[in-house]
Amino acid sequence: MKIIAADVIVTSPTRNFVTLKLTTEDGYVGWGDATLNGRELAVAAYLREHVCQLLIDRDAHRIEDTWQFLYRSAYWRRGPVTMASIAAVDMALWDIKGKVAGLPVYQLLGGASRNALRTYGHASGRDIPELFDSIREHLDLGYKSIRVQTSIPGVKAVYGVAAQRQATGERYDYEPAGRGVTPKEEDWDTRAYLRHVPRVFEAVRNEFGPEIPLLHDGHHRMTPLEAARLGKDLEPYDLYWLEDCTPAENQDALRTVRAATTTPLAIGEVFNTVWDFQTLIREQLIDYVRAASTHFGGISPLKKVMDYAAQYQIKSGFHGPTDISPVGMAAQVHVGLAIHNFGIQEYMPHSGATNEVFQQQIRFVDGYLHPGDAPGLGVEIDEAAAAAYPYQQAYLPFNRLADGTMHDW
Ligand code: CS2
Ligand code: MG
C-alpha cells in the first residue's frame, strides 16, 4: 500500500506542535508527532527538506524497515531532531496499520495488559499553603499520584512551579517555553534547594499521610554527590521516584547516587535511542524509563527499550508534558497499555485550543488513562483549526548561577 503524500503541519494552539500527515493510495491517513520544544522548526525542516520525499511510494506496511532505513541511511544518527523526525514517521505508520486492521494500536502490540494507565499530575506551589492547595486540586481531579515541585527561598524562578510569573507576565502554568524571540534567564542555587526540598516533603507527608505516591523532578541540576545527598535525605518520605537528578550525559554519575540511596530513580526524557539506556538498564542504575514516544524515535523503539528493561524489572514512566502532542501522548499510552512492565504515566491535560485542533479519544477517568478503541492511535487533526493558529517562536528558559555561570535548566 503505497504512501502517496507526506505533509508537515505546524500549528500553535496555546503552544507549538509539529505533526506529520501520511496519506496512502487507499486513502488511509496516519498522524505522527514531531514536536521538539523550542526547536520545532528544525524538525519540520528535517522532515520537509530530507524525509518526506523519501516516503513517497514506500509500502506503508513496512514500519520496521522504514525505521531502519531512516535511521541508517541518514549516516548521521541519533540526536533530538533526527529522532523526533523518525518518531513522527513511525507513529503515522502504526496509525495507518491500525486503521487498515480496524484495531487500536495497543491490540497490534499484543493487546491490553491492564484496564487503564495510572497517571501522575503536577502539583506545585510558591509556598507550602499554595502547594497543599495544588495537591488537593489534583486529588479532586482524580489523580492518585502527585509530582511535587516548589519554589526555593532565595531563587527567583524555578522549573515546574505553575503559579510563578514568566517574563511575559503570564502564569507559568505548565508550559515552560515562553513565547518570544529570546529565552528567559532564570537563576539557581543548589545548596538552597538541597536545604529546602526535604522540608517540603516532610510537610507534605505530615499533611497528606504516608500512602500517596509522591514524585519529584530534579530536572538535571545536581552533581552526583548532591543527588546522592538529596536521595538520602528524601528516603524518610518514601518517594515513588526522584527524576533526572543529574545531567543525562554523565551516566556513570548514577553509580554514585545508586550507591548512596534507595530512593527510586527515573531518567530518560531527553534520551533519543535505546542505546542511551543500555548501561543504566544493564547495571540496574534506574528504576523507571522516562523516554517519550516523540523524542525516542516512535512506538517501535519505545516497545524495544521496555522489552529490554523488563529483563531487569525496570518499569515505564513515560514523559508526558504538554509539549508532547496528543498524537505523541496517544502513541505512548498505547505502548503503556500493552507492555507488562508498565509503571506510571505522566499526564498534563492539553488546553481547550489544543483539543480543538487534535481530536482525541484518550479518556482520563479517576486518575487513569485509556487511549480508546478507535482504529489506529485514536487522534485526528482538524487541519482548518490548525491553520488558525500559526507558529509563534518560543524558547525554554536557561539558568545562570549567582556568579553568572551557565547551569542546567
Ligand atoms: C519535565 C518537562 O515533565 C517533565 O518531567 O521535565 O516538563 C520538561 O521540562 C519539558 O518537557 C521541556 O520541554
Ligand atoms: Mg522531567
Question: What single string gives the DSSP state of each residue in 163-229?
Answer: TSBPTTS-B-TT--PEESSSPPEEEE-HHHHHHHHHHHHHHHHHHH-S-S-EEEE-TT---HHHHHH
Of 59-73, 149-163, 298-312, 348-362, the least confident: 149-163
pLDDT(149) > 90? yes
Ligand 1, atom 12: nearest CA belongs to which residue? Answer: 37
pLDDT, position 166: 55
Q: In the numeric block, which cell numbers belong to residue 39?
A: 526547536
Chain segment 11-55, per-residue pLDDT in tens: 999 999 999 999 999 999 999 999 999 999 999 999 999 999 999
Angle at 301 between CA 160 and CA 263, to 5 degrees: 45
pLDDT, position 171: 57
pLDDT, position 20: 98
**Residue-wise burial string across 263-284, b where 16 or more C-beta atoms lie within 10 A, e elsewhere:** bbbbbbbbbbbbebbeebbeee
pLDDT, position 162: 78
Residue matched to cell numbers 554527590? 225
Chain segment 273-316, per-residue pLDDT in tens: 999 999 999 999 999 999 999 999 999 999 999 999 999 999 99
Which residues, 6+ apart, have CB-to-CB distance to 181 below 8 Å? 393
Threshold 0.95, pTM exceeds:
yes
Helices (H), 60-188: 63-73, 80-101, 105-108, 128-141
- How far does the centroid of ligand 2 lie from the alpha carbon of residue 290, in Å? 8
The C-alpha atoms of residue 12 and residue 26 are separated, in whole angstroms, by 30
**Could you count the other beta carbons within 10 Å of the beta carbon of residue 200?**
21
pLDDT(249) > 60? yes
176 lines ligand 1 (CB under 6 A): yes
- How far does the centroid of ligand 1 lie from the alpha carbon of residue 4, in Å? 35
134 lines ligand 1 (CB under 6 A): no
pLDDT(240) > 60? yes
pLDDT(261) > 90? yes
pLDDT, position 172: 57
Q: How confident is the model at residue 161 (pLDDT cuts 50, 70, 90)?
A: confident
The more confidently predicted of residues 97 and 164 is: 97
Q: In the numeric block, which cell numbers belong to residue 390?
A: 500559526
pLDDT, position 176: 82
Chain segment 213-231, per-residue pLDDT in tens: 999 999 999 999 999 999 9
Q: 93, 327 in Cβ contact below 8 A?
A: no
Ligand 1 pocket mutation pick from 120, 221, 323, 409 by most atoms within 8 angstroms of CB: 323
pLDDT(173) > 70? no
Query: Residue 11, Cα to own-chain centre: how many angstroms?
Result: 19
Ligand 1 pocket mutation pick from 217, 348, 395 by most atoms within 8 angstroms of CB: 217
